[in-house]
Amino acid sequence: MILRSLTAQQFRNLDAADQAFHPLANIVVGRNGQGKTNLLEAIYFLATTKSFRTSRVGSLFRFDAPAVRVAGALERDGLTRTLAVALDGARRVLMINGEKVALPAYLNAMSVFAYSQSRLEVIRGAPEERRRFLDRGIAGIHPGYLEELTRYGRVLKQRNALLHAIAHGDAAASSLDAWNDEFIAAASIVTRARAAYATEIAAELVRIGGPDVTMTYGGADEATLRERMAKLRREEIRARMSLVGPQRDTLEFLAGGRAAHEVLSGGEQKMLVLFLKFAKVALFRRRFDEPPLFLLDDIDAELDLEVLQKLLIRLPAATQVFATSAKESFLQALEAGSHRRLTLEKGRVTASRDFV
């Protein structure tokens, strides 16, 4: 899987010129604020229709721009296809080779994993961030999971609406029974997928020599979920919302039996997140016999350079990497092999040089 080129229109401060990439390593350099992270973000947006920096899609638009569009030429399985994602207000258009496609088909075309400072929320952020970490990872190796997750979201919304109606006397409490069956069926698929993925990632962490951290996923099986729903029926009606289910499941990272964010230093937390990313890449490679694209944004001085070099050596062969850093010493870990060095100024690549 190789991204041959990228064109970004009205995407933050990036220039609209077509940019070609090296098939292995692309090292993006430049002063702070020139758009290095924006370039990696555009690649991530092309693959996922989302940002790895923010949940506010509107922030991707250049100031006062009515629309944003990113397109790229992706080589995979010996074929080159053009992918494009455009946002025009609230309308999203996804295209492969000039034809509109549905979201599941589009997301299955290109796979990318990103490491950035914002990913630290997986360790020290709200439980929702850790659930999102699981869901993104599962969708990366099981494209059909997104449909199951969407289905669960619809059932959850409808059940909450029913609880609200019951609380207002507009529906009978007994009407919950049928929805509970639907809810449990949809929830169980999500819970089983998350539990299996957490186990796989934990095994990969051990395999690649990751930190001594335990991953613990807390999700209820069908019988337990049904029991909790029966026990909490009155409380749920009073709260007018579902108090059990995957939307409340937990994923914990423990170091020495305590929450990792409480005992690990900032540098150790960043290293843990980096190891998690490498574990995801390795798992993807094992499933599909090809590596995804790998984005390393703003590798900083708190990371252990020796460990980083060892990890990079263990990347699957032919992994296309895009990296930014203000620290030259960290970029040197990627410069040992064939690579392209791109210099960005005010969102425009002003120099591009290949090294063998």
CA of 282: how far to CAs of 18, 145, 204, 206, 247, in Å? 31, 20, 7, 12, 28
Radius of gyration of the chain (CA): 22
- Amino acid 153: pLDDT: 94
- Amino acid 44: pLDDT: 94
Please tell me the distance from the alpha carbon of residue 110 to that of residue 112, in angstroms, as a whole number: 7
Provide, rounded to the nearest whole percent, the portion of the chain with pLDDT above 70.
96
Q: Which one, of 193, 161, 194, lies nearest residue 179 by Cα?
A: 161
Res. 330 pLDDT band, cuts 50 70 90: low
Residues 28 and 36 sit within 8 Å (Cβ to Cβ): yes
Tens of pLDDT, residues 244-279: 999 999 999 999 889 999 999 888 888 888 889 889
Please tell me the distance from the alpha carbon of residue 34 to that of residue 283, in angstroms, as a whole number: 34
Provide, rounded to the nearest whole percent, the portion of the chain with pLDDT above 90.
43
Q: Is the pLDDT of residue 158 over 90?
A: yes
The predicted model gives 44-66 an average pLDDT of: 85
Neighbours of 231 (CB within 10 A): 11
Q: Is the pLDDT of residue 311 over 80?
A: no
- Amino acid 171: pLDDT: 85
Please tell me the distance from the alpha carbon of residue 111 to that of residue 221, in angstroms, as a whole number: 30
Q: Is the pLDDT of residue 177 over 90?
A: no
Res. 297 pLDDT band, cuts 50 70 90: confident
The predicted model gives 24-51 an average pLDDT of: 89
What is the four-CA torsion angle of 128, 133, 134, 137, rounded to 10 degrees? Answer: 150
- Amino acid 329: pLDDT: 66
- Amino acid 318: pLDDT: 81
Average pLDDT, the chain: 88
CA of 233: how far to CAs of 167, 178, 326, in Å? 11, 14, 54
The predicted model gives 204-230 an average pLDDT of: 90
CA of 236: how far to CAs of 83, 153, 160, 247, in Å? 45, 17, 9, 14
- Amino acid 317: pLDDT: 75
Q: Is the pLDDT of residue 346 over 90?
A: no
More confident residue, 330 or 72: 72
Res. 301 pLDDT band, cuts 50 70 90: low
Q: Is the pLDDT of residue 117 over 90?
A: no
- Amino acid 235: pLDDT: 93
Q: Is the pLDDT of residue 310 over 80?
A: no
Six-digit token string for 346? 């005010």
Please tell me the distance from the alpha carbon of residue 291 to that of residue 282, in angstroms, as a whole number: 8
Q: Is the pLDDT of residue 302 over 70?
A: no
Q: What is the pTM of this model?
A: 0.86
Tens of pLDDT, residues 67-103: 889 999 999 988 999 999 998 877 899 999 999 998 8
Q: Is the pLDDT of residue 336 over 70?
A: no
Q: Is the pLDDT of residue 60 over 80?
A: yes
